[in-house]
Structure 1
Amino acid sequence: MLAGTNVALGVSGSIAAVKTVELAHELRRQGAAVRAVMTDAARGIVHPWAVEFATDNPVVTEITGSVEHVELCGYDGWADVLLLAPATANTVGKVAAAVDDTPVTTTATTALGSDVPIVVAPAMHEPMYDHPGVLEAIETVEAWGVDFIDPRIEEGKAKIASEEAIVLGVARAASDQPLAGRHVVVTSGATSESIDPIRVLTNRSSGRTGREVAKACYVRGADVTLVHDGETVPYADVHRVESAAEMLDAVQAVADGADALVSAAAIGDYTVETADEKIRSGQTLTLELEPTPKLIDSVREAHPGLAIVGFKAETSGDDDAMVGKARETLDRADLDFVVANDASVMGESRTRVLFVDETDVTAHEGDKAAIGGHIADELASVLEG
């Protein structure tokens, strides 16, 4: 996700600085090179040697005649992104006021003047986060184009955001953002149809591919709505649904303001009348299955100009058969392209897919994060065209 990206990591004196070591490791796991800058207060919480070990680079603890701030974040400096994590109320206020009395704030002022993208992950006690001056400082800095990763409000504290949220924020800031200004709706995972208050009809989809598509669209600058039967995520506005009908209703509700729909969910093809009470075991039972509406067909009918990406899972293992079925779906719902795959990859971390449009078939293979990136890139090309 961050391959080839140079991240300058500014650490200030919140207790959340203890998380800096693991954050630096995660940035590097995602492909980034990391160099850290620390305030004196941060050095009282986490030792620079630990941060040096985590980044595999010397740590800047003072600005010297080597003008470290300019070397890192000046014109033609080393960094592609400056990440302030954690950022205290003191640091945010100083950045907003151009007060340069720590290595971190001096580096931030330099980055702002050089148009280096900046991502800020604040961490402080909740009353400090609610202080009018702090909120005003955040608004001021945001107006300059700085991205803030919202903290988690828990136990009276504005705790630093999760590593995933911070890494995604850094990746988004470092991206060319070909989907900036676009609203992309992504459906993901399995739906389930209630048989009774306990039992459901469902399928084996894990939703991993859909979530990776949503992440990739977010990183490329999109505002993302994720419709799935899952938890809140830091990269999308989540609409939680269970049944096929609920998923269709949720998509229709947001489609008016959308530029594209990526229908990655494995939506159940059949529903059943739900029993009001638990069906007792030990009896022979016949379920009357009724077809569910086809989501992409319904959305296409209501939104003829919407860019739509469909998915088609087959079990034959034969590419020609997959392409044939994908083209049927492509033509029926007037889709922009279809992602076809063999159903055997459900729940796996890697997959092989075929991108099928009116004229071409392109194969992609790799982990589902990489596939999500390919889908987002192809979608960006569709929207640009």
Structure 2
Amino acid sequence: MGKNNSSKNIKYLDNSAFSELTDCHPSKDIKGSLGQEFRSKKIVVCVTGSVACYKAIDLIRTFMRHGAEVYVVISKTVEKFMNKEYFAWASGNEVVSELTGELEHVKVANYNTSDLIVVYPCTANTIGKFASGIDDTPVTSVLSIGLGSAIPIIIAPAMHEAMYYNDIIKSNIQKLENMGVMFSTPVMEEDKAKVAPIDLVLSQSISAILSHATSINPIPSQVETNWNFFCKNEVDRLSDIKDKDLLFYFTNKKIMISVGSTIEYIDPIRIITNTSSGKMGLSLIKQSLKYGLDVTIVKGMTQIDEKFKEISSTRFNNRLQIIETKTTDQMAEAIVRELERTNYDFVILAAAVSDFKPSTTSEKKISTDNPSLQLNLVPTIKIVEKVKHIQKSTFLVAFKAEYRVGIQNLLTRSWHKLVQSRSDLIIANDVGLEESVIGSDTNKITALDRERNYFDFPPDKKDGVAENIFKLIYFKLHQSNT
């Protein structure tokens, strides 16, 4: 293969040509600088002829900063607004602006060639053509192939507000949504349906790739093959971190910790709950106070209420606030209220929140004379997903408990939760293991970060586990600032 041919192939998703050429462009120096959520992933960004097309540059660069290899396909009308070389610079790859005998649309959107297609911005014209099966531009042809190849597709519309609310446009959007196409809701300002913020599209994109990877591998033993996780050996280095370092770093910072379990009422007497004891949460609180933090506890139901009474009556009580809750809704309301009125440096959600609740609650005790009782359960609110919507800058640590799933599936399910909630760390444990049984005094945790690095800790008393969690938080933040 000659030099010119090789260079030309950068434009297409020809994997044989990528091994040596895709990482050579200087524009790719930013890859992974903000995270590795898209490590080894290929994203096609389609740009249509909207005046907002210049905003696609920032989206392309954002995807790259999170680890993606990005390929750009544009409609011909885009070049009326800006030169396609801007997109070549942004992505580090040549731009597809016309279809030739090389079948560019097939090469970028055929089976297993790309992980995601994002149209940003997308005009009403392109939405209509896509919904009607018209393939007369590079973008609509890529979308047609991508839909047939079951590649996740996200569309971010941009147009005048009145046009967006046109019944034909709404019908086309509904039609595409019924086919599995996702839409990023535009921002309504100045009589315009302005293209969705990049943060929203980024979040949707991470979720789309993750959900797609999981859905095509429903067998648990195969789930982990879609995501690579990287074992870090820094666990031993955490022992070098001294209490004085932690005290100096954490003193006078604010932390909110949720602990215990929640209950959901069937009737005024009967409930649904879980067997969480609150011991892990108590250990986290003790370590927080030890390191000088101001602590807000959002407490559910625990098996050790007397321990919480003891800690609230100690010399630390001027740095301690306890908010009592019972149900998931009450806990969610308390956490949201606190986040809206106080800036927290750290939030650790260690409570075992009920995932489901009865769809209706009987106001009276259900009679035991009933020959049978059927409960219709519905999902509860996802508290963890509220935190970053209110306080983007807080360092969020969430917990993920599984039962006898194996390390790879534990990591994959934890990664899914991390992405959905935008957590900074997930503390995962398999409660099917002897050393991690719910209610015991010991725990074995695996911590997962945003770069898919995981830290596997040996079994320990829960006070020791809590100490390691704070050391890891310190290590992650101190590392990012040096």
Question: TM-score if structure 2 supplies the norm length?
Answer: 0.45
Partner of residue 292, structure 1? 323
> Is 1:162 aligned to 2:197, yes or no?
yes
> Is 1:359 aligned to 2:435, yes or no?
yes
Partner of residue 115, structure 1? 150
Give 3-state SS (helix, strand or coil) of 2:254's partner: coil
CA distance in 2, matches of 1:62, 1:149: 26
Q: 1:205 aligns with which of 248, 255, 272?
A: 255
Q: 1:45 aligns with which of 65, 68, 81?
A: 81
- Cα deviation digits, residues 160-179 of structure 1 (max 9, x gap): 11111111212222114688
Determine if contact 1:352/1:363 at 8 Å carries over to the other structure: no
Q: 2:136 aligns with which of 77, 101, 118?
A: 101
Q: What is the Cα deviation at residue 131 of structure 1? A: 0.8
> Is 1:57 aligned to 2:93, yes or no?
yes
Q: 1:150 aligns with which of 164, 171, 185?
A: 185
Q: 1:175 aligns with which of 210, 221, 224?
A: 210
Matching of residues 175-254 of structure 1 within 5 Å: 175-176=210-211, 204-205=254-255
1:356/1:28 Cα in 2 relative to 1: closer, same or farther (>3 Å)?
Answer: same
Q: What is the Cα deviation at residue 352 of structure 1? A: 9.3
CA distance in 2, matches of 1:157, 1:204: 40
Q: Supply the AA of the counterpart residue of 2:57.
A: V
Q: What is the Cα deviation at residue 127 of structure 1? A: 0.8
Q: What is the Cα deviation at residue 117 of structure 1? A: 1.4
Partner of residue 190, structure 1? none
Q: Supply the AA of the counterpart residue of 1:204.
A: K
Could you say which structure has the larger radius of gyration?
A: 2
> Is 1:15 aligned to 2:46, yes or no?
no
CA distance in 1, matches of 2:449, 2:134: 45
CA distance in 2, matches of 1:160, 1:118: 16
Determine if contact 2:357/2:380 at 8 Å carries over to the other structure: no
How many percent identity over aligned positions? 27
Q: What is the Cα deviation at residue 370 of structure 1? A: 5.2
1:123/1:252 Cα in 2 relative to 1: closer, same or farther (>3 Å)?
Answer: farther
Determine if contact 1:252/1:299 at 8 Å carries over to the other structure: no
RMSD: 5.0
Give 3-state SS (helix, strand or coil) of 1:175's partner: helix
1:206/1:84 Cα in 2 relative to 1: closer, same or farther (>3 Å)?
Answer: farther
- Cα deviation digits, residues 259-317 of structure 1 (max 9, x gap): 9x9x999983499xxxxxxxxxxxxxx99x985325598966x9699999999xxxxxx
Identify unmatched segments of 5+ residues in structure 1. 181-201, 208-243, 272-285, 312-325, 327-336, 338-348, 375-385
Partner of residue 407, structure 2? none
Determine if contact 1:81/1:170 at 8 Å carries over to the other structure: yes
Q: Supply the AA of the counterpart residue of 1:136.
A: S
Partner of residue 92, structure 1? 127
Question: TM-score if structure 1 supplies the norm length?
Answer: 0.55
Give 3-state SS (helix, strand or coil) of 2:44's partner: strand
Q: Supply the AA of the counterpart residue of 1:107.
A: V
Q: 2:174 aligns with which of 113, 122, 139?
A: 139
Q: Supply the AA of the counterpart residue of 1:129.
A: Y
Identify unmatched segments of 5+ residues in structure 2. 1-36, 216-251, 266-270, 286-294, 300-316, 327-349, 359-376, 385-398, 400-409, 411-422, 437-442, 457-482
CA distance in 2, matches of 1:168, 1:121: 13
Give 3-state SS (helix, strand or coil) of 2:125's partner: helix
Determine if contact 2:435/2:444 at 8 Å carries over to the other structure: no
Give 3-state SS (helix, strand or coil) of 1:66's partner: coil
Q: Supply the AA of the counterpart residue of 2:118.
A: L
1:55/1:156 Cα in 2 relative to 1: closer, same or farther (>3 Å)?
Answer: same
Which of the two has greater strand per residue? 1
- Cα deviation digits, residues 305-339 of structure 1 (max 9, x gap): 9999999xxxxxxxxxxxxxx9xxxxxxxxxx9xx
Q: Supply the AA of the counterpart residue of 1:68.
A: E
Partner of residue 42, structure 2? 6
Q: What is the Cα deviation at residue 5 of structure 1? A: 1.2
Q: What is the Cα deviation at residue 46 of structure 1? A: 2.6
- Cα deviation digits, residues 57-86 of structure 1 (max 9, x gap): 00000000000000111234x211111111
1:14/1:363 Cα in 2 relative to 1: closer, same or farther (>3 Å)?
Answer: same
1:205/1:148 Cα in 2 relative to 1: closer, same or farther (>3 Å)?
Answer: same
Give 3-state SS (helix, strand or coil) of 1:119's partner: strand
Give 3-state SS (helix, strand or coil) of 1:108's partner: helix
Which of the two has greater helix per residue? 2
Give 3-state SS (helix, strand or coil) of 2:435's partner: coil
CA distance in 2, matches of 1:114, 1:373: 36
1:44/1:69 Cα in 2 relative to 1: closer, same or farther (>3 Å)?
Answer: same
- Cα deviation digits, residues 42-64 of structure 1 (max 9, x gap): 12223211101111100000000
1:153/1:369 Cα in 2 relative to 1: closer, same or farther (>3 Å)?
Answer: farther
Determine if contact 2:255/2:296 at 8 Å carries over to the other structure: no
